[in-house]
Every structure is written in structure tokens, then in C-alpha cells.
């Protein structure tokens, strides 16, 4: 139980206050608070000051014995040692995050920047980054490199994205979910266009990031998606999937998975999330074909985007 204390905190913050409005603020220069360092390089005598500075990371129902035990736990020490080795500093990440916020605040000037805090989340890779009200939490133990021994028992399609390069992509994704409404989220077409908006959000906010890192693909998977875009789209049309509300389509073509499920021989060659890729291309086609602002587009009905997109992938 003690091992998962910070993971529990992650989940508490994940579900708190995401919808709050923020006020105008200029929170510069950007500061990243290394709670992982502060905590694991502390002594029991430092806990009082840490708890005063980070009360939201020390739930009242746990007394100091829990935190002292965590400080002395050999597994926790090993995780922190590896985090500190890979992220002795966050200079590159800080530059990217600063650039992201410059772009974000250009479009959303009333947004107040949160406190950016890094910590260790017991490799809770499904919630690597959490945006909750005035906090942005980054679990650095989820970005140690795809071949790291900590990830040796994980499926490759998951460990491939546990790399430092994905930190900024994951941060941007949290903000995309924060600003893009999920209205009209019923049919398969509406769902893939929602995720297309999320990925186009990254196009705008992270123009220098490779496409494959925006969606979380290997180079091989990115090449497959581009090469087979016409055939995937044809399959969706011919199988009459676009206006279906069948929930199985989410697991087959939208959720992160080792491959997409066409129930054909190509399945094992295909990447997961191919529906997101198609939605992305529809949104990109729409923005090329229409004089619509980025903000107007993310608020649009997905069906209107599709109807005006002129989307027609080439063989």
C-alpha cells in the first residue's frame, strides 16, 4: 500500500478541478519544481518543511511513518537514482515547455500558468502527466527510455513511448483535452475527428515536434500509416463504420494498442490508434481547404469539419 501513495495522489489530482476558469497572469520565467529531488534527497527532519510547501502531496490520513518508510525503501531509492541519472537537469524540457506555453497563451491569453512539479509516480504510465487546476504534475519515472529495465515486462507499444521526447507531447495532450470540447462524441467519425483536433492542437502548439511523437508512433508505424491511409479510409467507408456508434470501434481503432483490428492479415503490421491518424488527416485537410481560425475549428461540430474537409486520401 505504501508503495502506491504517490500514485493515489496522482489519481486524486487527475479528477480534481479540470474545468475551472483561470485569470490573466504572466507566470514567467518558467520554473519547474523538482519535488522528486526535494523528497528523495531529504531526511525525516525535512518533512515538516516539505509538507508545508507541498501539502497537496501529503494527504493528512498518512502520518510521517509512511513517508519515512518510502524514503528508506530500496526500490524507491533505485527508481529515484535512475530518474536523477536520466534527468540530472531539465534544461531541454524546460525550453520546450516554455515554447509550448508561449504558443498556448497566444491563443488562450486568460490562462494562468500552473505550478510545474516533477515527481515519481511508481511508473504509472497511463497517467504520465496530470493537469489539475493550478498544478501540472510530471511523473519522470515514466520517461527513462524505451529499453530501460524498469519497463522490460511491458508491451513494446507502451514502452516505446516512455522516452524523454514524449514529455512535451504528453503535456500538450493534457491541454488539448482541457480546451477541446467533447460535444458530439457519439459516432466513430465524430470520435476520430475529436482526436484529430487533439493532434492538430499539437501541430499548432508544437510545430517543431515530429509527427510520430505527436501521435506516439515509431518511425515504422508512422510510415505504415502514411502508406496505407487510402486503404484504411476505404475500409472504414466500405464497412460503413463512420456513422456507427459501436463501442468496440474505440478499442479496435482509437485506443492505444499493439495494432489496429481490421480482422485481416494486415492487422499485425498496422499500428494502433489508426483512427486517430485518419481523424488528424481529415482535420488537416479541412484547415487547408477553409479560411477558419484554429480556435473556431476546435469548437466546430466534427461532422461539419468532415463535410467541408475535401478529404480524399491518395493511393
Domain boundaries, the chain: 2-179, 188-307
Cα separation, 169 vs 253, whole angstroms: 21
**What is the tens place of the pLDDT at every residue in 102-122?**
999 999 999 999 999 999 999
CA distances from 48 to 39, 44, 64, 66 (A): 11, 8, 9, 14
Which pLDDT does position 60 carry in this prediction? Answer: 87
- Give the other-Cβ count within 10 Å of 262's Cβ: 17
Is the model's pLDDT at 20 over the cut of 80?
A: no
Is the model's pLDDT at 257 over the cut of 80?
A: yes
Bond before 199 cis per omega within 30 degrees: no
Using an 8 Å Cβ cutoff, are 304 and 285 in contact? no
Is the model's pLDDT at 21 over the cut of 50?
A: no
Confidence of residue 28 (pLDDT cuts 50, 70, 90): low
**What is the tens place of the pLDDT at every residue in 137-185?**
999 999 999 999 999 999 999 999 999 999 999 999 999 999 999 988 9
Is the model's pLDDT at 1 over the cut of 80?
A: no
Which pLDDT does position 77 carry in this prediction? Answer: 95
Confidence of residue 27 (pLDDT cuts 50, 70, 90): very low
**What is the tens place of the pLDDT at every residue in 121-147?**
999 999 999 998 899 999 999 999 999
Confidence of residue 315 (pLDDT cuts 50, 70, 90): confident
Confidence of residue 18 (pLDDT cuts 50, 70, 90): very low
pTM: 0.90
Is the model's pLDDT at 4 over the cut of 80?
A: no
Average pLDDT of the chain is: 91
Using an 8 Å Cβ cutoff, are 113 and 101 in contact? yes
Return the closest-CA partner of residue 202 out of 211, 189, 194, 192: 211
Amino acid at each position: 500500500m505504501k508503495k502506491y501513495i504517490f500514485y493515489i495522489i496522482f489519481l486524486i489530482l487527475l479528477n480534481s478541478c479540470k474545468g475551472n476558469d483561470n485569470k490573466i497572469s504572466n507566470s514567467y520565467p518558467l520554473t519547474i519544481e523538482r519535488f522528486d529531488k526535494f523528497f528523495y534527497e531529504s531526511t525525516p527532519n525535512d518533512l515538516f518543511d516539505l509538507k508545508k510547501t507541498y501539502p497537496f502531496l501529503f494527504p493528512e490520513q498518512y502520518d510521517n511513518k509512511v513517508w519515512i518508510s518510502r524514503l528508506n525503501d530500496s526500490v524507491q531509492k533505485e527508481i529515484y537514482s535512475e530518474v536523477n541519472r536520466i534527468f540530472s537537469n531539465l534544461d531541454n524540457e524546460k525550453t520546450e515547455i516554455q515554447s509550448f506555453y508561449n504558443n498556448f497563451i497566444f491563443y488562450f491569453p486568460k490562462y494562468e500558468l500552473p505550478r510545474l512539479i516533477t515527481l515519481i509516480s511508481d511508473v504509472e504510465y497511463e497517467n504520465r502527466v496530470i493537469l489539475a487546476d493550478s498544478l501540472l504534475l510530471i511523473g519522470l519515472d515514466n520517461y527513462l527510455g524505451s529499453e530501460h529495465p524498469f519497463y522490460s515486462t511491458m508491451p513494446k507499444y507502451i514502452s516505446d513511448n516512455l522516452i524523454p521526447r514524449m514529455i512535451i507531447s504528453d503535456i500538450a495532450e493534457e491541454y488539448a483535452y482541457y480546451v477541446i470540447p467533447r460535444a458530439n462524441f457519439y459516432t466513430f467519425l465524430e470520435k476520430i475527428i475529436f482526436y484529430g483536433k487533439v493532434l492538430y492542437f499539437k501541430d499548432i502548439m508544437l510545430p517543431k515536434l515530429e509527427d510520430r511523437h505527436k501521435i506516439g508512433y515509431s518511425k515504422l508505424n508512422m510510415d505504415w500509416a502514411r502508406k496505407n491511409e487510402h486503404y484504411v479510409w476505404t475500409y472504414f467507408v466500405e464497412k460503413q463504420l463512420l456513422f456507427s456508434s459501436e463501442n468496440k470501434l474505440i478499442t479496435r481503432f482509437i485506443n492505444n494498442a499493439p495494432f489496429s483490428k481490421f480482422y485481416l492479415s494486415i492487422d499485425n503490421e498496422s499500428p494502433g490508434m489508426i483512427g486517430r491518424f485518419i481523424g488528424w488527416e481529415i482535420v488537416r485537410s479541412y484547415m487547408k481547404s477553409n479560411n477558419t481560425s484554429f480556435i473556431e475549428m476546435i469548437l466546430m461540430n466534427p461532422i461539419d469539419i468532415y463535410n467541408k474537409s475535401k478529404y480524399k486520401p491518395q493511393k
